[in-house]
Amino acid sequence: MTVQTGARLLEGAPIAGEIRSRVATDVAEFAATHGRPPALAVVVCGRSAPSMVYLERILKACASVGIDSRFVDVPGDDAATLGAGLAAAVRELSADPAVSGIIVQMPLPAGINLRVVVDEIDPLKDIDGIHPLNAGLLRLGYEGFVPATAHAALEMLERSGATIPGSEAVVIGRSPVVGMPVAFMLAKASATVTVCHSRTRDLAAHTRRADIVVAAAGRPGLVTGDMLKPGAVVIDVGINVLDGKLVGDVDFESARAVASAITPVPGGVGPLTNALLLAHLVRAAQRQAAERPAAAARKPLARSTPTEPADPAERQGAADPDGAP
Ligand code: NAP
């Protein structure tokens, strides 16, 4: 059997490197103007090893471009204590003029609603677009902070050479952090968008007519080559561990034989997500400086001692400045 393996690989690292170098220039300019670099606060509430590795990588990426960072570990053994501590931490960081942007470890521990964060985070520091104001701006087509992963998926598509206006796009997943923001962004870019989810009756019937497929379901092997239109552009946002290996939602080999371009997992959307998060942070710092000049002129970020991960094995993944799968 002849297998066509012609799909172009859409790799995140080169684009991420380009974005990081632009961010480094912007950071240096900001520091020269304001006497301090932009600063990121990373809030962790109940540690889970995979997301600790992810957050450590973001801190490493910050350091690589000169962004200051603070690691806040919310103490507590039960949901009530953790929830109250999380609310207090996000409130304090939102009020601190030395902090430019805040991200919170996801998923939150069982029993803690995202609302705890949403109610406290300053929309101008919400660099991952979870505040309703930013979600609303996206929905209305205005500029705000969009979730970095959704932004990465769109950036990848735009750089893939795909013609988005007039295309049929299928987004698999309707979460507020990935699927729906991607769908809104694609609609804004004039694609005809279908959003599929776990209750979609015949997923393949939708994907087979799509010029663009964005998979964000968290289900390994959900999309196979026979579900794709020849020449489709496939953006795999999924991150799953299968048999000890990191895989996406798309069965890479069969999809690659049919698609014209495809993102690998790891190495596709993930690295781009982290670079864009840094770009969002710089934009947040610039917006705060423009809209709250008195606050921007205040003292630099107080150096709190970053909390070291308890497990040394968690530190091992922190070497890659791309910071995500
Ligand atoms: P999520 O909140 O669990 O949402 C998953 C979505 O997929 C839901 O809308 C769900 O439908 C849908 N879905 C589940 N099974 C399906 C099926 N069999 N057919 C069609 N749709 C199905 O997950 P998320 O936070 O959006 O994340 C999605 C994936 O992206 C995960 O693998 C996550 O790890 C990954 N991710 C990657 C990055 C990155 O930087 N690359 C960042 C964030 C997340 P219902 O709404 O009906 O339940």
Residue 175: which pLDDT band, with cuts at 50, 70 and 90?
very high
Q: What is the mean pLDDT of the chain?
A: 90
27-54 per-position pLDDT tens digit = 999 999 999 999 999 999 987 766 777 8
Q: How far is the CA of 70 from the centre of ligand 1 (A)?
A: 29
305-315 per-position pLDDT tens digit = 333 333 333 33
Place of tokens 């540690």: 47
Residue 297: which pLDDT band, with cuts at 50, 70 and 90?
low
Q: Measured from the CB, is residue 156 less than 6 Å from ligand 1?
A: no
Q: How far is the CA of 301 from the centre of ligand 1 (A)?
A: 35
How many angstroms separate the CA atoms of 248 and 225, rounded? 14
Which CATH number applies to 161-267?
3.40.50.720
Give 3-state DSSP helix, strand, coil % of the chain, rounded to 5: 45, 15, 40
Q: Which ligand 1 atom lies nearest to the CA of residue 249?
A: 32
| CATH match of 35-141+270-297+306-314 with 3.30.540.10 | no
Report yes or no on whether pTM surpasses 0.95: no
**Contact present, 169 and 214 (Cβ < 8 Å):** yes
How many angstroms separate the CA atoms of 251 and 224, rounded? 5
Domains 35-141+270-297+306-314 and 161-267 share a fold: yes
Structural domain spans, the chain: 35-141+270-297+306-314, 161-267
| Ligand 1 atom 4, closest CA | 175
Q: State how far the alpha carbon of 85 is from the alpha carbons of 5, 99, 128, 217, 305, in Å.
A: 51, 18, 21, 31, 18
Ligand 1 pocket mutation pick from 58, 174, 272 by most atoms within 8 angstroms of CB: 174
Radius of gyration of the chain (CA): 20
DSSP for 116-162? HHHTTS-GGG-TT--SHHHHHHHHHT------HHHHHHHHHHHHHT-
Residue 4 pLDDT > 70, yes or no? no
Q: Measured from the CB, is residue 151 less than 6 Å from ligand 1?
A: no
Q: Measured from the CB, is residue 150 less than 6 Å from ligand 1?
A: no
127-138 per-position pLDDT tens digit = 999 999 999 999
How many angstroms separate the CA atoms of 64 and 54, rounded? 15
How many angstroms separate the CA atoms of 44 and 310, rounded? 13
Mean pLDDT along residues 287-315: 57
Cis peptide before 165 (omega within 30 of 0): no
93-152 per-position pLDDT tens digit = 999 999 999 999 888 999 999 999 999 999 999 999 999 999 999 999 999 999 999 999
Q: How far is the CA of 263 from the centre of ligand 1 (A)?
A: 16
Ligand 1 pocket mutation pick from 172, 199, 207, 276 by most atoms within 8 angstroms of CB: 172
182-232 per-position pLDDT tens digit = 999 999 999 999 999 999 999 999 999 999 999 999 999 999 999 999 999
Q: Is 226 helix (H, G, I), strand (E, B) or coil?
A: helix
Q: Which ligand 1 atom lies nearest to the CA of residue 218?
A: 32
Q: Pairing between strand 240-242 and 245-247? A: antiparallel
| Ligand 1 atom 47, closest CA | 198
How many angstroms separate the CA atoms of 51 and 106, rounded? 7
Q: What percent of the chain has pLDDT over 90?
A: 81
